């Protein structure tokens, strides 16, 4: 028997906690300890989630990604050679997650007009794993963002 197990020679200390029916005082104490650990984990996770949500809004989505730098963006969101007729020059800076989130909800990306906004959003919607900005865009798709 371990030192924590109550016995006639080693009674359970009176800590003011009544055991749950059908459990030993040791089991009741362990359940209380687990509850305390669980509560502290929740307290530690909440700030981390808040920080994650904040970083999602500040992440960046380059249009186009660095691997296609110098390319223009066609209306359907594909990249095309520079100065292609009907395509749009890339924006002067990457967009933030917050700017993209607002544009996806019906707003406009900074320094864009109706058609270039549509082209840039189509490009962003077509992002795939491995492309610059994909992780940021995927984070915007998570519930709560």
Task: Give the 3-state secondary structure percentages of the chain, helix then strand then coil, rounded to 5.
Answer: 45, 5, 50
Mean pLDDT of 132-141: 92
| DSSP symbols for 2-46 | -TTS--SSSPPP--S-PPPTTS-HHHHHHHHHHHHHHHHHHHHHH
Sign (positive/negative) of CA torsion 141, 142, 143, 145?
negative
Does the global pTM surpass 0.85?
no
What is the rounded CA–CA span in Å between residue 37 and residue 34?
5
User: How distant is the alpha carbon of residue 141 from its chain centre?
Assistant: 9
Percent of the chain with pLDDT over 70: 61
DSSP symbol at 91: P
Q: Taking 70 as the threshold, does the pLDDT of residue 49 lie above it?
A: no
Beta-carbon contacts of 108 under 8 Å, excluding residues fewer than 6 positions away, are 117
User: Does residue 80 or residue 14 have the better pLDDT?
Assistant: 80
Mean pLDDT of 28-40: 59
Confidence of residue 57 (pLDDT cuts 50, 70, 90): confident
User: Pairing between strand 72-73 and 60-61?
Assistant: unpaired
Q: What are phi and psi of 79, to 5 degrees?
A: -90, 140
Q: What pLDDT is attached to residue 14?
A: 57
User: Does residue 66 or residue 43 have the better pLDDT?
Assistant: 66
What is the rounded CA–CA span in Å between residue 144 and residue 94?
23
Confidence of residue 45 (pLDDT cuts 50, 70, 90): very low
Q: Which of 22-31, 44-53, 125-134 has the lowest mean pLDDT?
A: 44-53
Q: What pLDDT is attached to residue 101?
A: 94
């Amino acid at each position: 028997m371990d030192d924590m197990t109550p016995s006639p020679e080693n009674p359970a200390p009176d800590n003011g906690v009544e055991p749950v029916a059908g459990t030993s005082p040791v089991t009741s104490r362990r359940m209380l300890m687990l509850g305390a650990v669980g509560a502290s984990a929740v307290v530690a996770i909440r700030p981390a989630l808040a920080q994650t949500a904040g970083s999602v809004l500040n992440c960046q989505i380059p249009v186009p990604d660095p691997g296609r730098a110098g390319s223009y963006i066609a209306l359907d969101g594909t990249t095309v050679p520079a100065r292609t007729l009907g395509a749009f020059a890339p924006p002067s800076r990457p967009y933030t997650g917050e700017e993209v989130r607002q544009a996806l909800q019906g707003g406009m990306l900074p320094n864009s007009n109706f058609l270039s906004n549509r082209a840039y959003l189509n490009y962003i919607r077509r992002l795939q794993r491995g492309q610059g900005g994909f992780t940021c865009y995927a984070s915007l798709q998570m519930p709560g963002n």
